[in-house]
Structure 1
Amino acid sequence: MTSPAMPMIRVNLERAKLLVKELERSTYTQLSAYCLEVLHEIGCNDTELPDNLQTREQQLNFIAGFASYAFGEVENV
């Protein structure tokens, strides 16, 4: 039996993948600003990125993880 939630999860995962693909073309400054925005949304009041979000790869992984969670599916995109 197919779960009625599966189509929604697939849509959410696709949205997360599209967001990350879009952000892969962003500059380091744009990614950093977006990461700070996400951190502020989840309650962090720092004005600088933490040590584990200093590289472009770390930032993209953070955004991908947050997007997939926010869109309803925690998965490595």
Structure 2
Amino acid sequence: MTNPVKTVIQVNLEMALEVAHELELAPYTQLGVYCLEILREIGCPGTELPLNLQTRDQQLNFITGFASYAFGEVQSV
């Protein structure tokens, strides 16, 4: 018998890694916009990125961390 929890976590991990790979190719401006969307979704008002989301690496880690958390497995780029 297949463990359904393990199957879901594996699928979620694959989805999070897929998101990370796609965003590695995204332009810097798109990453910033996506970070702002995530921040608004979690209740943070504002139209500018905070100081800790100024670099491409910071933005990729934030987005990937959020995606992997949402998909059930915390990962980092």
Between the aligned partners of 1:23 and 1:75, the Cα distance in structure 2 is 14
Between the aligned partners of 2:75 and 2:64, the Cα distance in structure 1 is 9
* Structure 1 gaps, min length 5: none
The answer as to 2:49 corresponding to 1:49 is yes
Between the aligned partners of 1:61 and 1:75, the Cα distance in structure 2 is 9
TM-score normalised by the chain length of structure 1: 0.91
Determine what percentage of the aligned residue pairs are the same residue: 66
TM-score normalised by the chain length of structure 2: 0.91
CA RMSD of aligned residues (A): 1.6
Shift of 1:74: 1.8
Aligned length: 77
Shift of 1:46: 1.1
**Residues 40-63 of structure 1: CA deviation (Å, up to 9, x unaligned):** 000011110000000000000001
Between the aligned partners of 1:61 and 1:52, the Cα distance in structure 2 is 11
